[in-house]
Chain A
Amino acid sequence: MKLLSIILSLFIATGIAGCNTKNEQVQNIQPTPPAVTQQESTETAPSPEQPSQDTFSFDEIAEYSGNPYVVVNGNVPFLNIDSTAYTSYESYSPLDSLGRCGVCIASVGRDIMPTEARGDIGSVKPTGWQSVKYDFVDGKYLYNRCHLLGFQLTGENANERNLITGTRSMNTQGMLPFENMVADYVKETANHVLLRVTPHFEGNNLLASGVLMEAISVEDSGAGVMFCVYCYNAEPGVAINYENGDNCEDTNAPITEEPAQQEPQNTYILNTSTNKFHYPYCHSVKRMSDKNKQTYTGSRQSVINMGYSPCGNCKP
C-alpha cells in the first residue's frame, strides 16, 4: 500500500482554508491531517496496549479481511485538545485537483447538530461515483454518498467537500456506529467531541481506500469518547478498482476457514412454524406459541442458512 503521506504533506505545506461557515459560533479552524511519517510500512498494526504514536502512516493499516474497521494506535487519536475545541465548529478541506475530498474536522456540539430531516444529496457526484446494484448488498446499492462528518453530527447536506463515494458496508457498518456513539454522547452530556475524518486516497485513485476516524471528548479529556479507527471502503463479495470505482462480483474471494466467527453472534428467537426469526424483544415473540418457539444463538447468516427468514417488524 502506497503512502498517503505525499498528499497529506501537500496539505501541510500549502495549508488548507476550507471553512464552511454555518453559524456565528463557527470558528476559522483549518482541518489539519494527522502527522504522517515517511517510514516504510511495518508488518503489524500497533496493538491496543501500545502507547500513542506521534506520527501515522496508512501503510500500518492491515489489509481488509472482512471486518468493517480496525483499531489504529491503540484507539488513541492523533488529535490535541486546544482552547478552540470548547466551542463548536466544523471545517472541510477544499477539493483537490482531482476533485477529491480532504480532511474534515469538527468540534461537535449540540448547537451545530441538525434540527431538520436530512435533505437531498443526490446532486453531488463524488469522485469514483457509480450507481451499481448487487442483490447481496444491504440496500442493493454498492456505493453510497458517504458523509465524512455524519449528517447527524453537523447537519451538512449536499456539501461536496463532505461527501465521498463509499461502500454500503463502510457507510453503515464502519462509519455509522462511531457517528452514533459521538452523537449520543453530545446529546446526553452537552459536551463537545473533537472529530477528524481523513479520507485515504492512494496515488491518483478516485475512490478512497478507507477513512481514518479520530475522536476525543473535550470537556472530560476523552473519558466519555475516545477512538482512532480505520474504516475500510470495501464490500464483502465485491472486487473494487480503486482507481476509478469499477467493480464486479468477486468470484475469487478467499474463503476463510471459519467465516462464522467473523460475524456477530446474536441470540434470536426462531418460530419453527412460520420459519421466521426474531430479536428476543420483538412483539411477535410474546404472541408466539411456546411449542413453536426456539432460542438460538449464532450468526445471522447461520440462521438464514437454516432456512429461516428475518421478521419484517424487528428486522434482525
Chain B
Amino acid sequence: MKLIVCLDEAQGMAFNNRRQSRDKEVIKKINEIVGETPLYINEYSRDLFADGIIGAGDGFYFAEVDLPKSTPDEIYAFYWNRLYPSDLKFCIDLSLYDMTDTCEFAGLSHEKITLCHYRRKKS
C-alpha cells in the first residue's frame, strides 16, 4: 500500500476531525501520482476525490483524518510548510524509510509545498 498524507510543520494531519488545509495543486499532483491505480479514501475525503474508493486495498490510500493500520510500502508526504492546529499527528517512523525523491511547487493557497517520496527500507 502506498500512503499519501499532507503534513504541517509539527507533523500534524488534522484538527477536530477536519483537515488542516487543502490546495487544488496538491489534488492535481495526487491525481498525477495515482494515475490509473486505485485510490482509496476515507468518506471524509469524498469532497476532494469524487472517484475515490471508500475503504482500503492494494493501491494508494489518501489519509486525512486517520492512518491505515497496515504499514505502507511507500509514503508520499506533502508538507505545507506552515503551522496549523493539530490533534492528529503523523506517527509513522520515517527512519524506517529512505527518501527517494523530493520536489517543491507553488500551491493555490500555499507559497511553497514540498513533496517527499519515501520508500520502506529493506530489512
Q: In whole angstroms, how far apart are the Cα atoms of A67 and B12 in the complex?
A: 15
Partner of B23, one of A184, A226, A227, A285: A184
Interface 1/0 per residue, B1-28 and A, CB below 8 Å: 0000000101110011010111110000
Q: In whole angstroms, how far apart are the Cα atoms of A48 and B85 in the complex?
A: 15
CB-nearest residue of chain A to B99: A280
Question: Distance in Å from the Cβ of A285 to the closest Cβ of chain B?
Answer: 7
B79 contacts A279, CB within 8 Å? yes
**How many A residues, CB 8 Å from partner?**
35
A187 at the interface (CB under 8 A from B): yes
B45 at the interface (CB under 8 A from A): no
Question: Distance in Å from the Cβ of A109 to the closest Cβ of chain B?
Answer: 14
B93 contacts A297, CB within 8 Å? yes
Contacts of A267 in B (CB 8 A): 11, 93-95
With A188-B108, A280-B94 as given contacts, are A177 and B83 in contact (CB-CB < 8 Å)? yes
Contacting residues of chain A (163-215) with chain B, CB-CB under 8 angstroms: 172-173, 176-178, 180-181, 183-185, 187-188
B84 contacts A188, CB within 8 Å? no
B16 contacts A226, CB within 8 Å? yes
The interface of chain A, by Cβ under 8 A from chain B, is 48, 69, 71, 75, 172-173, 176-178, 180-181, 183-185, 187-188, 223-227, 229, 264-267, 279-281, 283, 285-286, 295-297
| Interchain Cβ contacts under 8 Å between A and B, 17 examples | A75-B16, A180-B82, A181-B15, A181-B20, A181-B21, A223-B18, A224-B18, A227-B85, A229-B85, A264-B11, A266-B10, A266-B11, A267-B94, A279-B79, A280-B99, A281-B116, A283-B102
